[in-house]
Structure 1
Amino acid sequence: MGNSPAWRFYLLGGTVAVVVCALLPYGLTRDGLYSLIGMSSAAAAFAAAARCRGAVGLLWLLMGIGQLSAALGDALWTYYDHIAHVDPFPSPADGLYLLQYPIVAVALLMLARHHRSPGDREARLDAAILIVGLVLPYWVLVIAPSIGGYDSALEEAITLSYPLGDVLLLAALVRLLAASHARTPSGRMVTVALVLVMAGDVIFVLDEEGVSTTAVGVLPFLTSYLIWGAAALHPSAADLLRAAPETAPSFTTRRLVTLTAVVLLAPGTLIAQLTFGFELSAWPVSITSVLLFVLVVARMAIMLRRLQDQARRLDEIARTDTLTGLPNRRTLDAQLVRAYERAARDGTPISLALLDLDRFKLFNDTHGHQAGDELLAGAATAWSLVITNADMLARYGGEEFVLLMPGRGLEDAEHLLAALRVVTPQGQTFSAGLALWDGRETPLELLRRADTALYAAKEAGRDRAVRAAPAVRNVTALPAAGNNL
């Protein structure tokens, strides 16, 4: 959790102060201590801003301003209630409280922006699904019951501004959690503090029995101040913008379960209202259901597109040699079949050469395997620049390559091999066995003839191309015609 003791001392001393504040009777002393705890949280955030500087410092500065705004609201509320003896609601104290929401939301969105990943589009959609789904019960349980019944429009507007501010904080927090892969202790504490702020606001808005002035009502806000201050003093406060690994997004079981549960909140809300006889929230549920449907379809479309891209890449990997980037033997076999069919239909020749880099083992032993890999890749690149689109160069295995040349006779094929010899890198040479398809032999038989010719080229001194002997066919002799009489 970090070696610096400052955050531990703050957390320990703050816990004592929070407990004392919660146990004190409602009055000037309790609310004064309440304001001091809030001020200490803002001071810790400003200290983190001064210590971190740069972009991280700006984030802590914004959060510190948000905390200070709330703490000044506490102090002003205390003045109105206990010194001026006037009703603090509504008052300028509410303006200071409400100022905290957009400032902290901006900080969270900045943090989410720095934690973007290759799957940021999916993260944004997941965040949108969570926000839309969670706002519905918040509307039904908190916002809708708070509409109407106030002495003035200002009182109603300020009361409703708190849950709407919570919706803004919730949206920013969900966006951050959906995008972030860097989970630091400081970041986790900030998350807990924000949840406590929203919980305290729910108690405040739904308060009908004066609970918000008791320990139950003040504890969420006090604990939020305490945890936020500890997060600012924690050594990991400087790591809020730590770069996350650039990994492709994974649709985990936990994320699937979470999204499923949130999507089911819309029909679940309607079912609960029907079951217990509550007033139906038909329009909110309908609008939410439509939005969730569109978002889920968009999420599925992106996931399907990603799966298709992955399948395409896997297919390319399965058909390509990873070292040279050339087609592998599997692709060569398929191409041979297609070339046979085309040649049989059009009556065109097919030449095939089996190439082998000369003394490759000696080159490897002398220069190392990495240099050997570079030679193979370099040869593949240089040869690929010489051949035409109709030809196909594939890696057969080891230092052996196959050059398939549809439409070329033996002389034309030998000219192409001579051109390849010129561009072979690092002064190396190759031997080649060259075979012309006879129109009947199988791909394996054609490769065998080329391989036999390759061995002949090696035995003849290397650095040359040798034509394969014509294919030999076993013909069973027919009995001579004659008179058996």
Structure 2
Amino acid sequence: MRRAVWPPWVWYLIALAVAVVAYFGTPDTWLQTISYDAIAVSGAVAMIVGVRGNRAVSARLWVAFAACQLLVVAGDFTYAWYARHLHISVYPAPADVVYLSAGFLEAMVLVLILRRRLPARDSAGVIEAVILAGAFALIAWVYLMKPVTRSTELTSAGKLVAISYPVLDLLLLALLARMLVGGGARNGAFRLLAAGMTSYLAADYAWALSDHFEFEAGTFVSHLMDAGYLIAFGLFGAAGLHPGIRDLAAPVQVVGRRFSRWRLVLLTTATMIAPLLLAAQAWHEHNHVADAPAIVVGCVGMFLLVVARMAVLIRQVEGQASVLERQAEELTELAQRDTLTGLANRRAWELALPLALDHARRDGKSLALAVLDLDHFKRFNDQYGHQAGDRLLKEAAAAWAAGLRSGDLLARYGGEEFALLIPNCGGAAAAELLDRLRPLTPSGQTFSAGIAVWDGQESSVALFARADAALYQAKGAGRDRVALAAV
């Protein structure tokens, strides 16, 4: 039996897992820095190699994304150089400039990728992304940004840098949410990239919140948070190696999406963050809400966004209902239309005849009904073939219909037999009309017809039966003629 061969991206993930586990054993020395940066660089290199090898759409953007990861590694090395070699600890530090530059450049690259992937307007996806990002923005303001603005220990530059980090995270979070709620296939590369961004943001928020709550992270916990970044770098590299990266930046068609259960849960959770934060502060501060203005703004914003999302959903439902209604009308039309001749079929005739009788009874006007039959049609088929017979039926129907009034109804009753309703018309006028139609029959063929004028009392079945009997009289008299049924 042939053994299964794992693709390169699977082997890379296995090697990544081994390297991350080994990283937990490194001491707080240059060995730790080198190990961390080596794993991170491997992710960027793997993405570049994979993107080029898979001939990905918009390969330059993916290479730029990998370059941003290398810039993050440069920031980490700069931080280690100042801390381990120069023994200098300042804030803001040169490494912060590198970190923030890499982050905002990465956000710009992701915006370009998403614009290529989702070129069409998608109001629903944008609103959902803003809802998710807005919920985290409230948390970031309360626990990360607001304390910075009130700090007396930081300089203006330090406050600007400290606030820039959560702002950058919110930007990346909004882009991640936009990617997740957008259209397109969720292939392996998509899942690896989304998982990498999630891991990166989780690690970033873990460090930020631990610093806010003054949590003293031990060696294992700090290694665990570092592992979040390393896993992100590795998942980016695996995404590049995955064959799905080839079409990940290709334009996709955004169509009406089903409002899935996971999306409903996610959006519900996001909209509940503001009231939950209100309840938490009221509980811990004895009904005093320190961040009431921010929470009010968050609640109002979420309410308006939910209303906007509902409006988009209602428009989608109305649009789908309009499409379904139009399709139903088209199906009804098709169901009542003969596919060969384009005339009304027998079903449409049987619906129209009783209505015509009702109108004639109500208006007190006459109504004539004629039954037409092509003469010697079987012989024509046998001599020229069924395709010629179908062509004769089609051309005859078109020629006769062109000679009728706008209110007359010509239907194909079955085979070579046709039925004609002539409102507000007596027997002599109906016979004259049919005599004008007989010469219009193509291919030198003729037809016979029987006419019956409604007596004002008989049923549609009886009226048709009289016209049909008159048709047989016309055929018995030699064909190519019109017979009028006796009253």
Structure 2 length-normalised TM: 0.76
Identity of paired residues, percent? 30
Question: Corresponding residue for 2:32?
Answer: 30
Structure 1 length-normalised TM: 0.76
Code of the aligned partner of 1:443 = S
Question: Corresponding residue for 2:306?
Answer: 292
Across the two proteins, how many residue pairs are aligned to each other? 455
Check whether the contact 1:356–1:430 (CA below 8 A) recurs between aligned residues: yes
Q: Does 1:99 align with 2:105?
A: yes
Deviations 1:218-255 (A, max 9, x none): 12211111111111111222242678789764445555
Cα distance in structure 2, aligned partners of 1:191 and 1:7: 16
Deviation at 1:302, TM superposition (A): 2.7
Question: Residue 115 of structure 2: SS of its match in structure 1?
Answer: helix
Q: Does 1:421 align with 2:444?
A: no
Cα distance in structure 2, aligned partners of 1:346 and 1:282: 68
1:229 maps to which of 234, 237, 243: 237
Q: Does 1:442 align with 2:459?
A: yes
Change in CA separation of 1:349 and 1:74 when aligned onto 2, cut-off 3 Å = farther
Q: Does 1:152 align with 2:169?
A: no
1:132 maps to which of 117, 130, 133: 130
Deviations 1:417-475 (A, max 9, x none): 447634x9xx998776554434333334334444445666777888x57446245xxxx
Check whether the contact 1:102–1:165 (CA below 8 A) recurs between aligned residues: no
Deviations 1:376-434 (A, max 9, x none): 88877777666554344556567765444434541464167447634x9xx99877655
Cα distance in structure 2, aligned partners of 1:262 and 1:323: 55
Check whether the contact 1:81–1:88 (CA below 8 A) recurs between aligned residues: no
Check whether the contact 2:13–2:235 (CA below 8 A) recurs between aligned residues: yes
Question: Residue 57 of structure 2: SS of its match in structure 1?
Answer: helix
Question: Corresponding residue for 1:191?
Answer: 194
Cα distance in structure 2, aligned partners of 1:398 and 1:255: 56
Check whether the contact 2:200–2:229 (CA below 8 A) recurs between aligned residues: yes
Change in CA separation of 1:335 and 1:229 when aligned onto 2, cut-off 3 Å = same
Q: Does 1:21 align with 2:23?
A: yes
Question: Corresponding residue for 1:60?
Answer: 62
Change in CA separation of 1:315 and 1:192 when aligned onto 2, cut-off 3 Å = same
Which deviates more from structure 2 when the two are superposed, residues 441-450 or residues 24-33? 441-450
Check whether the contact 1:129–1:263 (CA below 8 A) recurs between aligned residues: no
Code of the aligned partner of 1:226 = G
Which deviates more from structure 2 when the two are superposed, residues 166-175 or residues 281-290? 166-175
Deviations 1:48-106 (A, max 9, x none): 33234473434533433443333333333333333343347533222223321221232
Which deviates more from structure 2 when the two are superposed, residues 245-254 or residues 304-313? 245-254
Question: Residue 38 of structure 1: SS of its match in structure 2?
Answer: helix
Any residues of structure 2 matched to 1:380-459 within 5 Å, and which? 389-394=406-411, 396=413, 402-407=419-424, 409-411=429-431, 413-414=433-434, 417-418=437-438, 421-422=441-442, 434-452=451-469
Code of the aligned partner of 1:229 = G
Code of the aligned partner of 2:115 = L
Cα distance in structure 2, aligned partners of 1:360 and 1:231: 71
Check whether the contact 1:434–1:465 (CA below 8 A) recurs between aligned residues: no
Unmatched 5+ stretches in structure 2: none
Code of the aligned partner of 2:327 = R
Which deviates more from structure 2 when the two are superposed, residues 139-148 or residues 377-386? 377-386
Cα distance in structure 1, aligned partners of 2:380 and 2:259: 46
Cα distance in structure 1, aligned partners of 2:62 and 2:346: 58
Question: Corresponding residue for 1:81?
Answer: 83
Deviation at 1:15, TM superposition (A): 1.7
Cα distance in structure 2, aligned partners of 1:434 and 1:382: 20
Code of the aligned partner of 1:350 = L
Cα distance in structure 1, aligned partners of 2:471 and 2:243: 67
Check whether the contact 2:367–2:424 (CA below 8 A) recurs between aligned residues: yes
Q: Does 1:201 align with 2:221?
A: no
Code of the aligned partner of 2:237 = G
